[in-house]
Amino acid sequence: MVKKAVIPAAGYGTRNLPITKVLPKEMFPVAGRPAIDYIVREAVEAGIEEILIIISRSKNMVMDYFDRSLELEMFLSQAEKSHLIPLLETPKVHIQFIRQSYAKGLGDAVCLAERFAGNEPFAVLLPDLLFINETANALQKTIAVYNEYKESVIGVKAVKEEDLKLYGVIKGTELAEGLYDITDIIEKPQTSPPSNLAVMGRYVFTPEIFPFLNETLPGIGNEIQLTDAIKKMLTKYEAKAQVLEMDCFDLGKNEEYMTLLNYMFKKK
Residue ranges per domain, the chain? 4-267
Which of 103, 32, 14 is CA-nearest to residue 268? Answer: 32
Query: What pLDDT sits at residue 103?
Result: 78
Which of 95, 100, 20 is CA-nearest to residue 64? Answer: 95
Element (H, E) at 263: helix 254-267
Distance CA 260, CA 250 (A): 9
Q: Is 109 helix (H, G, I), strand (E, B) or coil?
A: helix
DSSP string of 187-221? ES-SSS-S-SEEEEEEEEE-TTHHHHHHTPPP-GG
Question: 49, exposed or middle or buried, with CB in 10 Å at 0-12, 13-18, 19+?
Answer: middle
Q: Is 147 helix (H, G, I), strand (E, B) or coil?
A: helix
Query: What pLDDT sits at residue 120?
Result: 96
DSSP label of 33:
E
Query: What pLDDT sits at residue 145?
Result: 97
pLDDT tens digits for 233-260?
999 999 999 999 888 999 999 999 999 9
Q: Is 43 helix (H, G, I), strand (E, B) or coil?
A: helix
> Cβ(147)–Cβ(121) under 8 Å?
no
| CA dihedral sign of residues 101, 105, 110, 115 | negative
Q: How many alpha carbons fall within 13 Å on the CB side of residue 110?
A: 34
Question: 218, exposed or middle or buried, with CB in 10 Å at 0-12, 13-18, 19+?
Answer: middle
Instruction: State the amino acid at position 43 in one-letter form.
Output: A
Element (H, E) at 94: strand 94-99
Write down the CATH number for the domain with range 4-267: 3.90.550.10
Residues 6+ apart with CB under 8 A from 174: 180
pLDDT tens digits for 126-172?
999 999 877 789 999 999 999 999 999 999 999 998 889 989 999 99
| CA dihedral sign of residues 216, 221, 227, 231 | negative
Query: What pLDDT sits at residue 268?
Result: 59
Given a cut of 50, the residues of the chain with pLDDT beneath it are none
DSSP label of 119:
T
> Cβ(132)–Cβ(148) under 8 Å?
no
Element (H, E) at 146: helix 138-149
Which of 253, 241, 94 is CA-nearest to residue 175? Answer: 241
